[in-house]
């Protein structure tokens, strides 16, 4: 439903009868180079049929095959990956929209890919033993990603779904060169006892939206100046991923700094939920800027995977 252009593509570029394991991606030109864009992909999951049709033309998706489970009447699930890989190559005709992921047995090349793929919009590489069979719902491969740290401002929190006395997630910010505080992500993995402790610890930092860097939220929250406001400052378009979720938050004075672990940036935000490392009482919140972040070397996506 959400990717009508992919249906037409696979009919033309894949074998007539095959079962493949793969991923749908959306490449997009950003700052003069083409890279995979998670934000554009997430916007494709939309309830409105008219929008689906429009986005299928504006940001068309591609299919990348990882593995082959069957071809014709033959199951390949008990075959080793080497055999399945050959079947995958035979099932995909790489014309324009369908592709096969690259593989290597050279560890040095794999290490270079780990750096290059991030610069083209991917967040890591996958290592898979070549002799294993296809085993659904089991972790038989290894996802290799970068792990980095950043010092972020705690700008607010969302309450936990269990009640109003526990933290659901902490909202993180970094300062831009113009002095505005950008929303970069959240921390959400805490034991329940710690969630309640954090709730008590942070009450003294609660503020009104008039005094908060994200004071625009007061207007979208219906004028609730002292309570929870609306969404953090990022694209607010509805999708399947956030439909029905309560994204309101409680504003905090941006005075506390936390060191977090993260793996990958997607634009101005952390691609995945960050992990708590430690508090940084020694750090000036205004010093928490994007300049501290490691900037991966940029690569054109076509240099990593021709055809994209």
Q: Which residue has the tokens 């009104």?
A: 208
Q: Which of 16, 19, 35 is nearest to 265 (CA)?
A: 35
* Under 8 Å between Cβ of 26 and 107: no
CA angle 180, 36, 103 (to 5 degrees): 135
Instruction: Categorize the per-residue pLDDT at 218 as very low, low, confident or very high, splitting at 50, 70 and 90.
Output: low
Total Cβ atoms within 10 A of residue 38: 17
Give CA–CA dist 239/48, Å, rounded: 10
Percent of residues, the chain, with pLDDT higher than 70:
85
CATH architecture assignment, domain 4-145:
2-Layer Sandwich (3.30)
Dihedrals φ, ψ of 43, to 5°? -70, -15
Contacts from 39-45 at CB under 8 Å and sequence distance 24+? 39/235, 39/266, 39/267, 42/239, 42/241, 43/235, 43/237, 43/239, 44/2, 44/3, 44/239, 45/2, 45/239, 45/240, 45/241
The span from the CA of 40 to the CA of 296, in Å, is 21
User: Domain residue spans in the chain?
Assistant: 4-145, 148-292
User: What integer pLDDT is reported at residue 121 of this predicted model?
Assistant: 65
Residues 6+ apart with CB under 8 A from 135: none
Give the C-alpha distances (Å, rounded to integers) separating 67 from 91, 95, 274. Answer: 10, 18, 30
Quote the pLDDT of residue 223.
Answer: 38
207 pLDDT band, cuts 50/70/90, is: very high
pLDDT at 271: 82
Neighbours of 28 (CB within 10 A): 18
| Between residues 229 and 189, the one the model is more confident about | 189
Fold of domain 148-292: OB fold (Dihydrolipoamide Acetyltransferase, E2P) (2.40.50)
What is the arithmetic mean of pLDDT over 136-164?
90
Per-residue pLDDT, 206: 95
Q: What percentage of the chain carries pLDDT values higher than 90?
A: 59
* Per-residue pLDDT, 304: 65
Of 133-142, 210-219, 247-256, the least confident = 210-219
pLDDT, average across residues 2-13: 94
3-state secondary structure string across 74-125: EECCCCCHHHHHHHHHHHECCCCCEEECCCCCCHHHHHHHHHHHHHCCCCEE
What tens digit of pLDDT does each residue of 85-138 get? Answer: 999 999 999 999 999 999 999 999 998 888 777 766 677 889 999 999 999 988
> Which residues lie across from 23 on neighbouring strands?
64
Confidence of residue 34 (pLDDT cuts 50, 70, 90): confident
Return the pLDDT at 30.
76
pLDDT computed for residue 196 by the predictor: 95
Predicted TM-score (pTM) of the model is: 0.69
Among 222-236, 251-265, 294-308, whose mean pLDDT is lowest? 222-236
pLDDT at residue number 64: 95
User: Among the listed ranges 181-185, 210-214, 245-249, which one has the minimum average pLDDT value?
Assistant: 245-249
pLDDT in tens, 233-253: 544 444 444 444 555 899 999
Residue appearing with tokens 């290894």: 142
């Amino acid at each position: 439903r959400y990717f009508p252009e992919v249906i037409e593509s696979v009919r033309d570029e894949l074998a007539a009868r095959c079962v493949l394991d793969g991923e749908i991606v959306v490449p997009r030109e950003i700052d003069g180079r083409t890279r995979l864009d998670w934000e554009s992909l997430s916007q494709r999951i939309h309830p409105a049929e008219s929008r689906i049709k429009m986005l299928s033309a504006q940001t068309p998706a591609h299919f990348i095959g990882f593995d082959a489970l069957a071809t014709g009447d033959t199951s390949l699930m008990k075959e080793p990956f080497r055999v399945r890989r050959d079947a995958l190559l035979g099932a995909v005709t790489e014309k324009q929209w369908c592709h096969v992921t690259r593989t290597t047995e050279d560890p040095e090349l794999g290490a270079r890919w780990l750096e290059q793929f991030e610069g083209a919009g991917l967040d890591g590489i996958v290592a898979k033993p070549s002799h294993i069979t296809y085993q659904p719902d089991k972790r038989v491969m290894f996802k290799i990603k970068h792990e980095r740290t950043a010092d972020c401002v705690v700008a607010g929190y969302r309450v936990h779904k269990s009640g109003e006395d526990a933290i659901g997630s902490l909202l993180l910010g970094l300062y831009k060169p113009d002095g505005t505080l950008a929303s970069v992500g959240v921390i959400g993995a805490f034991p329940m006892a710690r969630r309640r402790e954090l709730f008590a610890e942070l009450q003294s930092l609660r503020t009104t939206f008039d005094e908060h860097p994200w004071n625009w939220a007061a207007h979208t929250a219906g004028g609730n100046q002292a309570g929870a406001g609306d969404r953090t400052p990022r694209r607010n378009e509805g999708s399947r991923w956030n439909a029905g979720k309560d994204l309101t938050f409680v504003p905090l004075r941006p005075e506390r700094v936390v060191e977090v672990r993260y793996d990958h940036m997607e634009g101005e935000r952390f691609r995945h939920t960050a992990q708590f490392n430690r508090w940084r009482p020694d750090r000036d919140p205004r010093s928490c800027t994007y300049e501290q972040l490691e900037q991966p070397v940029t690569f054109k996506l076509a240099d990593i995977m021709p055809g994209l």
